[in-house]
Every structure is written in structure tokens, then in C-alpha cells.
Amino acid sequence: MIVSVIAAMAENGVIGVDGDLPWRLPDDMKFFQRMTTGHHVITGRRNYESIPDRFRPLAGRTNVVVTRERAYQAPGALVVHSLEEALQLARDTGETEAFIIGGGQIYAEASRLGVVDRIYLTIVHGEVDGDVYFPDIQEDAWEDAWSEVHPADDRHAYSFTFHRYERIKGSNPDTWVTS
């Protein structure tokens, strides 16, 4: 099973503000939907609760919420108590690619565990205020396997670039990001 992270990050590393995304980028949301549909999506409890009620659980995906709260319930989603448990659950169902979809704490945990094979990272071309950050990518551990620029337009206040990074085989998984 491929373990993937998917995120959108400003040039100053910001990914969130006040429990929400710092931008509205519909074509990035479409990309997120296209990549993750049909797969397990693994989310921190706070990120899950930031998704508007009408959109959660995310349709067409197995939603897995990570929380330390033993009694937590999320109707229509699976609840687990560690990232390892979430990944094992996906593996046990024969999943081919599981997506870790944030937020900051869960990305940091993925970094700490060194379990990630692939990162879909949308770099938003601007610096924004925020309170949640993506871990730094250790560039020599990753190959920028694909990228595509999306210009700013009347629906997108920022231009952005999609990247797909693949972990270089043999690189130390513990050093793929610094956090």
C-alpha cells in the first residue's frame, strides 16, 4: 500500500488559520477530490470537524478520524486512536493508496513515523497569516516527479503549483521532512 500525504501550503509554510483553510481554491479542491476518491482518507479530529457538516464524511471515500478521545463518535466515519492504527486498518482492507489529509498535527505525526511514500503538495504562491504549518520537506530525500502550474484567475486569488514528490528509494524515511 502506498502511503500518501496530500496538502496545500503557502510559500511561508502556512496550511491553516483559525481552524480553517486560509484560501478558497476550487480547482485545488477538485484535484483533492480526484486524487482521494475511492480511497481511505485519514484525518485528525480537528481537521475532520472543520469540514462543513454537509460535506462530511467526505463522499466516495472511507473516512478515518484519528483522536485520543476513546468515546469519540463520527457517524459515517471510522474512528481510531493512532495514525499507525489508521494505516493498518486501510492495509487490512486491501487499500492500494491511503491518503493522510491533515491537519498539522497529523502531518507532523506522519513525518515523525517516517511512513510516507508520496506527497501531493500544492504550493500556493503567496505568504499568508496562519497558525498551522506543514513540516519542512527535506529536499534531497524526495524527487519532484510531476508538477503543473495553475494561474490566478477570477476564481483563484493566488496562482499555485501542484507537485507530486516521490520518496527516493534508499533515503532515510526518518529524514523525509524536518519538524
Q: Which three cell numbers stand for residue 124?
A: 500556493
Place of cell 505568504: 127
**66 forms part of the interface with ligand NAP (CB under 6 A):** yes
Q: Which is nearer to ligand NAP, 130 or 167 (CB)?
A: 130
In the stretch 118-157, what mask flags binding to ligand NAP with x, by CB under 6 A? --------------x-------------------------
> Is residue 104 a contact point for ligand NAP (CB under 6 A)?
yes
- Cα dihedral 145, 150, 151, 152, rounded to 10, equals -120
Question: In the 8-state DSSP scheme, what is residue 82?
Answer: S
Q: CA 25, CA 20: separation in Å to the nearest integer?
A: 13
Which of 3, 4, 5, 21 touches ligand NAP (CB under 6 A)? 21
Candidate residues 12, 33, 82, 161; the one interacting with ligand NAP per rule CB under 6 A: 82
Asked whether 114 and 176 are in contact (CB, 8 A), the reply is: yes
State the nearest-atom distance from the C-beta of 29 to ligand NAP, in Å.
10
